[in-house]
Amino acid sequence: MTHIPNTRTGRTASLVLACLIAPLPSLAQAPNTEPAAALVLSADGSLVIDTRARLAWPRCVEGMQWTGTTCTGTPLEIDHAQALAHANARWKAEGLPWRLPRAAELRRLVDKSGPTPGLDARLFPAAPSGWYWAVNANVKGGLAGNQYNYGNVEKAQRQGQGGESLDTTRVNQRFAVDLATGDIRSDAAKFSKLHIRLVRTHTD
- pLDDT (tens digit per residue) in 27-45: 233 343 333 449 999 999 9
Rounded alpha-carbon distances, angstroms, from residue 100 to 19, 141, 149: 57, 22, 11
Percent of the chain with pLDDT strictly greater than 70:
65
Residue among 112, 29, 116, 125 at smallest CA distance from 72: 125
pLDDT at residue 150, as a whole number: 38
Percent of the chain with pLDDT strictly greater than 90:
59
pLDDT at residue 3, as a whole number: 52
Instruction: Count H helices and E strands in the chain, helices first.
Output: 5, 9
pLDDT at residue 110, as a whole number: 93
Give one word for 144, left, alpha or beta, with left for phi > 0 and alpha for psi -120 to 50. Answer: beta
Nearest-angstrom CA–CA distance, 37 and 49? 11
Average pLDDT of the segment spanning 85-98: 97
Nearest-angstrom CA–CA distance, 175 and 103? 7
Nearest-angstrom CA–CA distance, 144 and 141? 9
Helix (H, G, I), strand (E, B) or coil at 125: coil
| Mean pLDDT taken over the chain | 77
pLDDT at residue 113, as a whole number: 83
Domain ranges of the chain: 75-198
Whole-prediction pTM: 0.68
Q: Could you read off the pLDDT of 133-176 as tens digits, one per residue?
A: 999 854 343 333 333 333 443 444 444 444 444 456 678 899 99
pLDDT at residue 168, as a whole number: 63
